[in-house]
Chains A and B, each alone.
Chain A
Amino acid sequence: LLACSSAAGSEMASGMQEKQYTPSLLSFFIYNPKFGPREGEEEKKILFYHPSEVEKNEKIRNVGLCEAIVQFTRTFCPTKPAKSLHTQKNRQFFHEPEENFWMVMVVRNPMIEKPSKDGKPATIEYQEEEILDSVYGAVLRQCYSMYKLFNGTFSRAFEAGGVELLRQKLEKFFYRYLQTLHLQSCDLLDVFGGISFFPLDKMTYLKIQSFVNRVEESLSLVKYTAFLYNDQLIWSGLEQDDMRILYKYLTTSLFPRHTEPELAGRDSPLRPEVAGNLLHYGRFLTGPANLKDPEAKFRFPRIFVNTEDSYEELHLIVYKAMSAAVCFMINASVELTREFCEQLDALVGPQLTLLASDICEQYNINRRISGPEKEPQFKFIYFNHMNLAEKSTIHMRKTASVSLTSVHPDLMKILGDINCDFARVDEDEEIIVKAMTDYWVVGKKSDQRELYVILNQKNANLIEVNEEVKRLCATQFNNIFFLD
């Protein structure tokens, strides 16, 4: 190797290196077999197909194949249809979110391109076992949830405007949404789809309660409210499942698009126009960017919640002051006017500004009390199925584009594997894995909670690792019931 690099220089060296390809989206389609049951009408089944440029017959062929696989495997287990199909080059994921509506996502396996050597052509080696069903299955289910949040169910759209309307909606939504899927950085957190809660003392929490109740009382149009701070949830008036997906949208899409204009420079275009005296920092993240603008439009995104029973369509107003963001949800049948927005701004802006600085202050006090030693030196992921609470010291930050982790993908894969093992049984379990180099990976499952710890200790043995994890539980999770 040394000889090579010295002789051929850097260009040659890079040409000589293996090239890694991360998993990527090959295709994504949605079909309903009932829409084109007859021979020659197969195209009617297809509601959405990405990439759209694919030739019609190939689309039909691929859909037909999936249909056949699902149909075939159903004979083995009618209640649990096939979820994925593993092939050398790719992996297909199937999901039937509504009766007869199928979503299929085809992911190309990660691969290594070995350069041509001694005149032999370059070879490609597919790493079939590197990607996890649980992770990408969850990604596919999330696609549906996100679609449903903004569009309602497939069947409702079909009932309202036939296949045409449904096709339009799917096209409009998924065309953009698929571009934001970053399959290479999906991991265990996508499986959990958890919510990060902001740690807060009781009194400040009660103040927030009081704020939410007061606003809901004076703006009686507001049906539900959610309160977040630092992109972490504090209060949700929505039910858990709806909040889960809304949270995902807020933290991975809406918030990253609105970086703090307060932090932006005075002349930065990000900084909003401040008319006259600055009374508060409140601003709308959805709807009008500037209330003073005579041209301002008072249109807000619409979301669908409680689709299982009451099926509500709501305006989503996201309003933010400093690090505190509040979602106000209002029945979509009500038209929102400039007056309403001004009223909301005048009522919520000053209160929220005050509250945000209260929370910030309280948070700093608490952090000072607990001291830096309480800051975890461990790398761990915690998830509670019961309240969807999630905490990770592995992930640096989640943004729309990438989720940065501080550990090697191989270790993330081990975490995913342990998670799959846990999913198979109901009982509490503990799994300890010795990974390459000096890493130990520990997974614990107690009742509805899962904890994954990555330890890097030279020459540690099993007992020491076990003790270390016990210590972590005692400091980080002393207020919950965690069997050891």
Chain B
Amino acid sequence: MDNEYYLELSENPVQFENASTVNNVFFDEANKQVFAVRSGGATGVVVKGPEDKSPIAFRMDDKGEVKCIKFSLGNKILAVQRTPKSVDFINFIPDYPHLEFSHECKTKNANVLGFCWTNWNEIVFVTDQGIEFYQVLPDKRTLKMLKSQSINVNWYIYCPETAVLLLSTTVQGNVLQPFAFKNGTMSKMSKFEIELPMVPKPAKLSLSERDIAVASIYGEVYVMYLKHHSRSTNSSGAEVVLYHLLREGPCKKIHVLKLNTTGKFALNVVDNLVVVHHQSSQTSIIFDIKLREPDCAMNVHQPVLPARSIHPCKIPLTGALCLFLYLIFLLLSVYLSGYLWYLQVKLQPTVNLLQDKGKLMDFLLRRRDCKMVILSVCSQMLEGGEKGNLPVVATVFDKLNQVYKEYLEAEQAYTVAMESGPSRFSNSYKRPVRTQAVIDQSDMYTHVLSAFTEKKVINKFIIAVLMEYIRSLNQFQITVQHYLYELVIKTLVQHNLFYMLHQFLQYHVLSDSKPLACLLLSLESTYPPAHQLSLDMLKRLSTANDEIVEVLLSKQQVLGALRFVRSVGGHDNVSARKFLDAARQTNDTMLFYTIFRFFEQRNLRLRGNPAFNQGEHCEEHVAYFKEVFGEQTLMKPPTK
């Protein structure tokens, strides 16, 4: 059971003084900071973030109860709301006046519902009558209005990640008006209506902010609506409806996540997965909107995995075991506990929960820390050796290589763009990010294949898997690295499957390369045909003529070597001594004579004299020639 929890809380929660009558706790999602405000700030404010080693601590005057407190991006300016009309600011930029200044909302009779920072110096006030977008001028200690918009607001949600502000309007509250913020500009996006399960009569506020969330999933902005089960409609349970928010054009309802149960829920987005927590069963389920259900209508999603609880965790300091309370999520009473955790998805347990390996790979490839898990899935899959496994192996390899190929292509496009000079394109081209999902050949080799092939049993399966991997790489037109070929050869040789090897080489399945040719040469003593295969390969490489000569000479095929050199037009440059040495070793005097004569003729042709030059170091051979054939047999220099 222990290895089935696929959700867990971060190891080091942010710890703070829990909320009490004297201590107010606030959480700012934008900076992921927890503010503990003691006695309105008079006895201190402590700010802790997830990565901050040393918390920020300061004091401020107690000017009434703090309703909301947030730093601007980069902790430059602190904004505090204490009254329904105004927001107070304190500079945290060194060398700027530290004195508080206040700003009242412009709209008359409006109440400030809250505010959100959209930049280090830009802030939006959300009032019940509209929004006001300001630039904060910390040096002048004033705010400059950038834009405003009148609209009746029930409540609002701000998504710092995407800088999208969502306002609930109309009496029922189900017409949502999104705004996007970017570098001092505010743009109004198309409003849209959430379909309520039933329309109340008389009309009253029916959509709660608790049922709406905005999140960025796979780089797109979605509004998530938790649609509760209604008895009147015949639905099987609650669902989460995802509206795709576009910069331009209307917002579209495009995904429906089936929760298949009823009750109280809470939503999270972790690693592009929608996590839905269910209170009464104390379990959570996850959805991946990119995972297509083959048997379901378009974009209706079932949970990827069976429901599981979040892994029970220990509170670090007290050491007490605490089953995670789902209540915490639902009531946002995290403030009471004194700990702020981050939810994480553990990938290893998903391996056993998702039987369909193809689907599992699709799922894993989209996760952030997936590499080692994917590799371990591959290893497991190969070692399982179940029947009918090969098609699965092929599917998995194809999925991995698809991602690998996309990365290689992006990388190549980038390189080409860079090489074409720092032109106008260079800005638009960003170096592609290599995510963990890019599993290249060296990863496969190191973590999966080399260990797998070392199994002692003679197994068709090993060869089949290697060939399947090579097939998949070829299918995606990825150049196969020679160490994979070497692995194939090593494995075949180990099992004495030389004829198989021969056939692979015959069909050029193992692509030509010098290292491979050399490896083949080394096999000659155990498998003589390797010699021919190697020479053919060297020939095809066309850059390995020197190697061919060496091979032939080592086989004492001196004449053959010389003829080869001549056929590729290199006979004017080769070392005479090398050939004469080889000819001497054969103990064939006629062969020696022929070779010697050839070089005399070359000398004559190149230098007008058949004699060898000093630098050629052929004295020993000249002497031998004289000894065997007599001095008069030496070629005479031409008479002038």
A residues in contact (CB < 8 Å) with B:
197, 200, 202-203, 205-207, 209-210, 213-214, 216-218, 220, 234-237, 239-240, 384, 386-387, 389, 428, 447-449, 479-481, 483-484
Which residues 448-474 of B sit at the A interface, judged by CB distance below 8 A?
A: 460-461, 463-464, 467-468, 470-471, 474
Q: Are the CB atoms of A483 and B468 closer together than 8 Å? A: no
Q: B389 near A: Cβ within 8 Å?
A: yes
Q: Are A200 and B507 also in contact (CB < 8 A) when A220-B387, A387-B529, A448-B532 are? A: yes
Q: Are the CB atoms of B506 and A389 closer together than 8 Å? A: yes
A448 vs B506: C-alpha distance when bound (angstroms): 15
**Chain B residues closer than 8 Å to A203, beta-carbon distance:** 471, 474-475
Query: 0/1 per residue, B58-81, Cβ < 8 Å to A?
Result: 000000000000000000000000
B residues in contact (CB < 8 Å) with A:
387-391, 394, 460-461, 463-464, 467-468, 470-471, 474-475, 499-500, 502-503, 506-509, 529, 531-533, 535-536, 538-540, 548, 557, 560, 563-564, 567
Query: Chain B nearest CB: distance from A120 CB in Å?
Result: 57
Q: Are the CB atoms of B507 and A479 closer together than 8 Å? A: no
* The residue from A209, A214, A239 contacting B499, defined by CB atoms under 8 A apart: A239
* The residue from A206, A213, A236, A240 contacting B509, defined by CB atoms under 8 A apart: A206
30 interchain pairs, CB-CB under 8 A: A197-B506, A202-B474, A202-B508, A202-B509, A205-B507, A206-B470, A206-B509, A209-B471, A213-B463, A213-B467, A217-B389, A217-B390, A217-B461, A217-B464, A218-B390, A234-B507, A236-B499, A240-B499, A384-B532, A387-B502, A387-B506, A447-B531, A479-B536, A479-B539, A480-B536, A481-B532, A481-B535, A481-B538, A481-B539, A483-B564
Q: Are the CB atoms of B387 and A217 closer together than 8 Å? A: yes
Smallest CB gap from B460: residue in A: A216
A202 vs B535: C-alpha distance when bound (angstroms): 20
**Chain B residues closer than 8 Å to A428, beta-carbon distance:** 557, 560
**Chain B residues closer than 8 Å to A197, beta-carbon distance:** 506
Question: Other CB < 8 Å A-B pairs besides A236-B503, A384-B532, A387-B502, 19 of them?
Answer: A206-B470, A206-B474, A209-B509, A210-B468, A213-B390, A217-B387, A217-B460, A217-B461, A236-B499, A240-B499, A386-B502, A386-B529, A447-B532, A448-B529, A448-B532, A479-B540, A481-B536, A483-B560, A484-B567
**Chain B residues closer than 8 Å to A220, beta-carbon distance:** 387
Query: Chain A nearest CB: distance from B563 CB in Å?
Result: 6
Query: Chain B nearest CB: distance from A239 CB in Å?
Result: 6
**Chain A residues closer than 8 Å to B529, beta-carbon distance:** 386-387, 448
Q: Are the CB atoms of B471 and A447 closer together than 8 Å? A: no
A197 vs B508: C-alpha distance when bound (angstroms): 13
Q: Are the CB atoms of B387 and A218 closer together than 8 Å? A: yes
Q: Are the CB atoms of A214 and B390 closer together than 8 Å? A: yes
Q: Are A386 and B391 also in contact (CB < 8 A) when A213-B460, A484-B567 are? A: no
Q: Are the CB atoms of B467 and A209 closer together than 8 Å? A: yes
**Chain B residues closer than 8 Å to A237, beta-carbon distance:** 500
A200 vs B504: C-alpha distance when bound (angstroms): 12
**Chain B residues closer than 8 Å to A235, beta-carbon distance:** 503
Query: Chain B nearest CB: distance from A384 CB in Å?
Result: 8
Smallest CB gap from B388: residue in A: A218
**Chain A residues closer than 8 Å to B467, beta-carbon distance:** 206, 209-210, 213
A479 vs B500: C-alpha distance when bound (angstroms): 20
A57 vs B416: C-alpha distance when bound (angstroms): 89
Please indicate which of the listed interface residues B461, B467, B471 has the most CB atoms of chain A within 10 Å of its own CB: B471
Smallest CB gap from B473: residue in A: A206
A240 vs B391: C-alpha distance when bound (angstroms): 29
A200 vs B531: C-alpha distance when bound (angstroms): 23
**Chain A residues closer than 8 Å to B464, beta-carbon distance:** 213-214, 216-217
**Chain B residues closer than 8 Å to A448, beta-carbon distance:** 529, 532
**Chain A residues closer than 8 Å to B538, beta-carbon distance:** 481
The 5 closest A-B pairs by CB, nearest first: A213-B464, A206-B471, A481-B535, A481-B539, A386-B529
A333 vs B389: C-alpha distance when bound (angstroms): 26
